[in-house]
Amino acid sequence: MTQLYWLHGRGSSLLLECADMGPPLWRYWGPRLEGDMLPGPALGEQGWHFGFHFDPPARLSVFPGGGLGWFGRSALEAHRDGRDFALALQTTGIAQDDNALTFNLVDEIAGIKVELELTLDPATDVLACRTRLTNLGTAPLDVQWLASAVLPLPPAAQRIRYFGGRHAGEFEPREDRLGLATWSRTNRRGLTSHNAFPGAVAAEDGTTEHAGTAYAAQLAWSGNHAQEIEWCDDGGRQWQFGVALAPGELRLEPGASVEAPQVLATCSVEGWQGAARNFHAAARAIISWPGGSRAPRPVHFNTWEGCYFDHDEAALRDLADRAAALGIERFVLDDGWFHRRNDDTSSLGDWWPDAAKYPDGLLPLAQHVTGLGMKFGLWFEPEMVNPDSDLYRAHPEWALQLAGRPLQLSRNQLVLDLTRAEVSNYLFDAIAAMLRAVPVTYIKWDHNRDLVAAGDATGRAAVRRQTLAFYALLARLRSAFPQVEIESCAGGGGRIDMGVLPYVQRFWASDNIDAQSRLEIQRGFLQFLPPEVMGSHIGASPAHTTGRRSSLHFRAAVALQGHLGVELDPAKLDADETARVAQWIAFYKAWRHLLHAEVWGGICEDGLTWHAAGNAEEWVLIVYRCMPSRQRFAPPVRLPFVTPARAYLVQRIGPDRADERERYAASWLARHGLPIPPMHAERAVIYHGKADDL
């Protein structure tokens, strides 16, 4: 008998079909369908039979198995000493509650059990896919590929938008057309990477930023990852995500299980931005804030580009005084504070204060900072060790390495093997000692190199277990110090993903603080994660990573999109600039409740882009002129997010202005657009909109 299983979200639905004991087949994932209508004949009854075709035709299941009639990619590639390579799962149990479907799938011959859980959150429209694999056999099972999720894409979804990049150039948007050839992206750098974000957005022709169907998915994982989109016999495609495993990296002993990292997926008819807002809502349910709920996101000061390794306690006190006077609420002491760390050639691993720079430890500086009313944060790069460190001299075997292979340095450092309990314990104790000695309520957790020769003490590939050990260390610290927030940084944005999100409250989006570069980086970031966890700083001009000069106005207006910080030497600002930075900080504080709500954004004609945040009742809109205008008059900016049939009072605002309110019909703003004044390149205008009954 054929059974149908529906899940409905706010704007999306999914439908699975189970015939007899067969595996659940994908019938639909897409825009919401009304009611649980009968969807025509069962898939099993739809196959045409031509003489040469394999019979019965295999259709895409939630976990397709290879070798027995499914000719696409298998969701599991595993074997026992070369045997048990084929897989045909039978459904042995199905449970459904309002939002979730759970399937138990077993192949007795292969000795494999797969438990799948699909939860479609009606509030966010985000589908969480969980997969657990168990070895039911009597011999170890070597797993080469385990799909975390297998999602169906309809034939019409032929565009795929994804994000590549490099250090200081994260989230560069790319778009490919899907064809018959398999589309795939794999990251083997040992952590999430700057180069390949573990997610993408598929769309139909005609889909725009704000309208049309988009299918987005991301893997919640901070290690090596792969995604693949493969054409299927019905013209649709299967989209698989998983951990990219090195040979031998995942072996399940008899009876053992492994939980694959989750995939979060969403379908929106409000284009790419609709999918992004769904992800933001899902992320907000995952973030664990100290105290249980989000407090207004405090303005940061980060010392890195202000003083780099040049730590002088008296100068840092002065820096803290200046920061506090600007209105800063959290002061983060970056790299350079610990034992003999004067440049990037030494000391990672020796996590105690440098006796020359801080003869009485960090407590006096931290107390000075807290005395000024700011919170105190501290930089660590826990997973790293320099060969020139006391730690490495005592424990050279603690670095990930492969016997007979040279130790390959990157930024003069090696990676510690967190899979060794003694290493994770050492790091926990070293960090905990600092947190106990000093009133630290914030850790900036860095990771400044890729992993190579990443073998454990037995010579086996260790990236997957390293990633899990990293999560375990974060979890241990969070539970011992629940009041401490953590920022995920990896040479800027090398470890931004939903996998680390349960443990952190901020991401450093990029070492590139150049405002023009940041507009693109931040747009990519916001496709997957919400603005309140996106670290965005007002940096110096010229920007240290690009050499480009830009006005303070433009730098601040770009930094306003995320969790605001300042990263420059305030002593180098003149009196006018100092006053203006303080005004921008006050402006952010006045509007952060809207800036960290729903987000919309777009790219217009004539070098304009815009970013809006808030809700349907009230919002802040920032329009950026990125390029000089080529026109006599700027084009009006259409606002697709306003509620039809309402009116809005729109006021141009800024740190030093609040113009007269203008009243607009929503339909005018949506269809014609808001008039924008002429302005020079690399300037911005900001508006506040508030609904006003028609």
Interface residues with ligand GLA (CB under 6 A) are 304, 334-335, 379, 446, 448, 489, 491-492, 508, 511
CA separation (Å) from 633 to 91, 553, 606? 64, 22, 10
Structure tokens at 79: 């074997």
Minimum Å distance from CB 462 to ligand GLA? 23
* Residue that is written with structure tokens 């952190």 in the block: 504
User: Which residues make Cβ contacts (< 8 Å) with residue 604, sequence separation at least 6?
Assistant: 610, 635, 637, 638
User: In sequence order, which residues have a C-beta less than 8 Å from that of residue 200 and are 6 or more positions away?
Assistant: 160, 161, 162, 163, 185, 216, 217, 218, 227
Pairing of strands 330-333, 300-302: parallel
Residues 480/224, Cβ–Cβ less than 8 Å: no
Q: Which of 273, 7, 231, 270 is nearest to 129 (CA)?
A: 7
Nearest CA among 418, 269, 402 for reference residue 349: 418
Q: How far is CA 576 from CA 404, 583, 660, 683, in A?
A: 60, 11, 26, 18
- Residue 203 or 320: which CB sits closer to ligand GLA? 320
Residue 324 CA, distance from chain mean position: 31
Q: Which of 446, 450, 456, 497 is catalytic?
A: 446
N-terminal to C-terminal alpha carbon distance within the chain: 56
Cα gap 59→274, rounded to integer Å:
30
Selected catalytic residue, list 354, 450, 511, 514: 511
Residue showing the smallest CB distance to ligand GLA in the complex:
335
Min dist CB 669 to ligand GLA, Å, is: 39
Nearest to 525 by CA among 172, 9, 203, 180: 172
Residue 446 among the catalytic residues: yes
Strand 90-96 to strand 100-107: parallel, antiparallel, or no bridges (unpaired)?
antiparallel
CA dihedral 589, 593, 598, 604 (to 10 degrees): -30
Residue 493 and residue 520 in contact, taking contact as beta carbons nearer than 8 Å: no
Distance, in Å, from the CA atom of 107 to the CA atom of 80, rounded to the nearest integer, reads: 14
Given the complex with ligand GLA, which of 395 and 444 has the nearer CB atom? 444
Rg (CA), the chain: 27
Cβ closer to ligand GLA: 511 or 682? 511
CB of 329 to ligand GLA, least distance (A): 19
What's the Cα-to-Cα distance from 647 to each of 57, 71, 618, 671, rounded to whole Å?
Answer: 56, 56, 11, 13
Closest CA to 585 of 256, 179, 296, 378: 296
Active site residues: 446, 511
